[in-house]
Amino acid sequence: MYSHNSLYPAINIPIPNGHASQMQEKQKSNPIFLDVTPARTPYMKPTSPNAIEPLRNNLVNPRANRDIVYENIKPVFTILRIMGVLPITRVAPGKNEFQIASPSMLYSIFVYFSMVGYVLYLSLNKVQILRTSEGKFEEAVIEYLFTVYLFPMIVVPVIWYETRKIAGVLNEWHNFETAYRHLSNRILPITLYKKALLIAIIIPVLSTTSVIITHVTMVHFKPMQLIPYVFLEILTYILGGYWFLLCETLSVCANVLAEDFHQALRNIGPAKKVSDYRALWLRLSKIARDTGIANCYTFTFVSLYLFLIITLSIYGLLSQISEGFGIKDIGLALTACCSILLLFFICDEAHYASHNVRTNFQKKLLMVELSWMNTDAQTEVNMFLRATEMNPSQISLGGFFDVNRTLFKSLMATMVTYLVVLLQFQISIPDESQNQMVEEESVSNSSIFTEAISSTTTTTAITTILTTLAKKKRKH
C-alpha cells in the first residue's frame, strides 16, 4: 500500500494499489511510490495573429476546415475578383473551379467590357501632351507612352483563360496542406495574411498617386480620363503582389518542410519517415512548376510590357538630357523606377522560391549523418537526394524562359542595347535649329549666286556694246 502521493501530500489515507501475488514478503514491506503527477504541458510559443487556424487548449486541431494558403492570400484575390480579373468559383474550402456560366465570370465580363467601352469613348478625347519649346521628339515619345499604358487591357482575357489552371494550383495547395497535416500532426504554419492585406491596401493607393503625378507633369488631363489609367496601373502592380505572395508561400513551405525533415532525422530515422518527406517534397516541387505554367501567358505579357515601359521611359529621359531636366521628367523617372522595381521583384522572388525548394533541401540531405541509420533509411535518403536532382523546381513560364535573376539581367542588357541604338538614331537626325541654319545658308548662297550671275550678265552686255561701237568707228 502507498502511504504518500505527490498529488495529495496532506492526505494520510492509504491508497490501495494492490500487489502481485508472486511478490515475496520482504518486497511487500518496502513501499513503492508511484508519481502520478500529470506531465507538464510543453511550452509553446504564442500563436501568430496571422494564423488561420488558432490553437485550442494549447494543442492544434488536426482538422483544419479551411484552405490555409487561399485564406492567407485572400485579400489580394479579393482585389483581383473585384476588378473582374480572376473569376474563381469557391465550391467549398479547398475546392476551386472555373465555370464560364458562373456569377463571377458574368461579373468579370461586365466589368471588362464596361472598361473597354469607357476607353473607346475617351479615345475621342485623347490626352493632350504638354507642348514646350524643347522639341517634338520627346513629345512623340510621351504620346507613345500613354498609348502603351493601355496595353494591359489585353491581359484580362488572358487571365480568364488561365483561371482554370490557377484554380488547379490552389487545389494542389490544399492537398499539400492535408498531406503535411497527416505527416506532422499540425497545420501548415503560413503567416502571410498581414503582408497580403498590406499589399491589397498600399498598391491601389500608390498606383493612384503615381498616375496622378504622371498626368499632372506630362499631359493636360481631365479627371474622367484618369479612371482607365488608374485601373490598369493597379492591375499591373497587384499582379506583381499576387506573384510575390505565391513565391513567398513556396519559400515558407520549403523552409518549414526542410526544418521538419532535419528534426525528424535527428530524433528518429525510420525509412518510412524519409519516404513520406520525399513524397511531400515532390508535391511541393510540382506546385512550384505548376505555378509558372498556370501563370505562363499572363506574366510573359507583364514582363514584356514592363520591358517596353522601362525602355520608353528611360529613352524619354535621355533624349533631352542636353536640355536639362524639366517637369516632364518627373513622371518619366517615376514610371521608370516603379517598373524596374516591379520587374526586379517578379524575377527575384521566383529565383528565391526555386532556391529554397531545391537547394535548401539538398543541403539538408547532404548534411545528414548516415552512419547510425540502417540500410533502408540510407537508401531512402540517397533516393531523396536523387529526386531533388532529377526533378527541376525552377519556375518556368510555360518553357519560354525561367523566371530568375538571370532573366532580369538579360532584359536590362537588351534594354541598354536598344537605348544605344535609339539614341544614335536620334543624334543622326538634325533638329529644327540645324534645319533653320541650313535653310539660311542655302538662301544666302543662292542670293550670292544670283548676284554673281547678274553681275556677269551686265559685264557681258557692256562689253558687247563697246565692241560694236569700236567696229562702227573703224568703218568710218
Tell me if 336 is assigned to some domain. Answer: yes
Report yes or no on 313 lying in a domain: yes
Supply φ then ψ for residue 24, to 5 degrees: -75, 165
Helix (H) or strand (E) holding 128: strand 128-129
Q: Are 385 and 365 in contact (CB under 8 A)?
A: yes
Q: Per the domain annotation, does 113 fall within a domain?
A: yes
Please give the distance of CA 457 from its chain centroid, rounded to a whole number.
79
| Element of type H or E holding 219 | strand 219-220
Give the per-residue pLDDT at 444.
54
List Cα–Cα distances, 177 to 94, 248, 255, in angstroms. 10, 16, 15
Cα angle, residue 356 at apex, residues 351 and 362 outer, rounded to 5°: 125
Q: Which residues lie below 8 Å from residue 306, measured CB to CB, with a gap of 6+?
A: 236, 339, 342, 343
Q: Is residue 445 part of a domain?
A: no
Q: Report residue 239 CA to chain centroid gap.
A: 6
Sign of the Cα pseudo-torsion (96, 100, 102, 103, in order):
positive
The pLDDT value recorded for residue 443 is 47
The reported pLDDT for the residue numbered 60 is 41
Helix (H, G, I), strand (E, B) or coil at 244: helix
Cell of 248: 513567398
| Entry pTM | 0.74
For residue 211, being part of any structural domain is answered with: yes
Which residues are CB-contacts of 235 (< 8 A; sequence separation ≥ 6)?
Answer: 83, 85, 152, 155, 156
Domain that holds residue 301: 68-427
- Could you tell me if residue 14 is inside a domain? no
* Ramachandran quadrant class, 189 (left: phi over 0; alpha: psi -120 to 50; beta: rest): beta
Distance CA 158, CA 152 (A): 10
What pLDDT shows up at residue 410? 92
C-alpha cell at 251: 519559400
Q: How many structural domains does the chain have?
A: 1
How deeply is 152 buried, as exposed, middle or buried, from its count of CB atoms within 10 A (0-12, 13-18, 19+)?
Answer: buried
Q: Where are the alpha helices (DSSP H) in 149-270?
A: 155-184, 193-218, 226-267
Which residues fall within 8 angstroms of residue 319, CB to CB, at 6 or more apart? 137, 138, 141, 423, 426
pLDDT at 267: 62
Cell of 387: 529526386
Comparing CA positions, the residue from 360, 365, 363 lying closest to residue 382 is: 365
Query: With b meaning 16 or more CB within 10 Å and e meaning fewer, what string describes 77-96?
Result: bebbbebbbbbbeeeeebeb
Low-confidence ranges of the chain (pLDDT < 70): 1-66, 124-141, 266-271, 320-324, 368-374, 429-476
**Taking the CB of residue 185, how many other CB atoms lie within 10 A of it?**
10
Residue 127 makes CB contacts below 8 A (sequence gap 6+) with 146, 215, 219, 220, 221, 225
Burial of 255 per CB tally in 10 Å (0-12, 13-18, 19+): middle
Q: pLDDT by residue (tens digit) across 119-166?
A: 888 776 665 555 554 455 556 667 777 788 888 889 999 999 999 999
pLDDT tens readout for residues 191-245 = 899 999 999 999 999 999 988 888 887 777 777 778 888 999 999 999 999 999 9
Q: What pLDDT is attached to residue 64?
A: 45
- Residue 366 inside a domain? The answer is yes
Residue 27 covered by a domain: no
Cell 490553437, residue located? 55
Print burial letters for 227-237: b (CB count within 10 Å at least 16), e (below 16).
ebbbbbbbbbb
The pLDDT of residue 68 is 86
